[in-house]
A and B are shown apart, each in its own frame.
Chain A
Amino acid sequence: MQIVVRLDVMLARRKMRSRELAERVGITEQNISLLKSGKVKGIRFETLAKICEVLDCQPGDLLEALPEGEA
C-alpha cells in the first residue's frame, strides 16, 4: 500500500491557493508543494490538524491508501 495525498483536490474544492493555505497553516509554500506532490516522508499531526481546520475537512479527505502503482 501507499499513501496518496489529495490536498490538491481539496484545495480545488475550497477554491483556495497553496499560498493562502501555507500562510494560514503557518508552513512554507514549498512544503505545501512537497506535500501535494507526495515528496515527503510524513506529515506531523500538528500540521495535519491545522490543514484540516483551514480546509474544514477530515484527514481521510486529504489522505488515501492505495495499492502500489495505482496512484
Chain B
Amino acid sequence: MTYRLPLATRRAAQVLRGLSFLAMAVILGLVVWIAVDPALLISHRAAALGLDMGGRSIGGASRLALVAGAWVALGAVLYTLWHMSRLFACYAGDAALTPSAAHALRHIGLGFLAQSAVGVLAHPVETLFLTLGAPAGQRMVSLAVSSADLGFVLAGGMMLIVGLVTSQAVALRAENEGFV
C-alpha cells in the first residue's frame, strides 16, 4: 500500500516553506542591522524591559554583550525556522513518514526549548548590562518568566514528543513495507 499526502497538504507545506525562508531572511536582516546599529537594539530592549536610560549611554563591553545576546536569541529562532523549512520540504515532497521529517520535528522542539531558555536567561543579562553603567543604587538584575517562555516550553516539549512518535511511525512503516 502506498501512502500519499493530499495535494492540498503538499501545496500548503510548500507555501509555509516559502514563508519560513522569508522569516529567515528577515532574521538575517536583523542580525546585520543589530551589528550595524546597536543603539536601536539597546533603546528597544530598554523600552521592552521598562528601563529609563535617561540619555545615559552604555559601555563598549556591555554593548558588545547585548549584541552577542541578541545574536544568540536570533540564532535560536533561525535554528527553529531552518528545521521548520526542512519539515515543510518533507511534507511538500510527500515524505511525511521519513527519518528526515522525524529529525526535523525533534529539532523544531529543541529550537523552541532553546528559545524559551534564551528568553528566561536574556532578562537578567539584559537588565544587568543595560544598568551596569548606572550610578550606584540604580544597577539591577531582574529575573522574569513570561507566558511566552512557558508557551515555548510546552510547544517544544510537544514537538519533541511528536518527533519521537514520528520516528516510531517511520519504523512501523518500514516494518509494514517488509510484508507482502
A residues contacting B by CB (< 8 A) are: 27, 31, 34-35, 40-44, 47
A48 and chain B: residue at smallest CB distance: B180
Per-residue A-contact encoding for B151-180, CB less than 8 Å = 1, 0 else = 000000000000000000000000100111
B residues in contact with A27, CB < 8 Å:
180
Additional 15 contacts, C-beta under 8 A, given A41-B175, A43-B179, A44-B179: A27-B180, A31-B180, A34-B180, A35-B180, A40-B178, A40-B179, A40-B180, A41-B178, A41-B179, A42-B178, A42-B179, A42-B180, A43-B180, A44-B180, A47-B180
Give A52 Cβ to nearest chain B Cβ, in Å. Answer: 14
A34 and chain B: residue at smallest CB distance: B180
B177 and chain A: residue at smallest CB distance: A41
A residues in contact with B178, CB < 8 Å:
40-42
**Can you give 18 contacting A-B residue pairs, CB < 8 Å?**
A27-B180, A31-B180, A34-B180, A35-B180, A40-B178, A40-B179, A40-B180, A41-B175, A41-B178, A41-B179, A42-B178, A42-B179, A42-B180, A43-B179, A43-B180, A44-B179, A44-B180, A47-B180
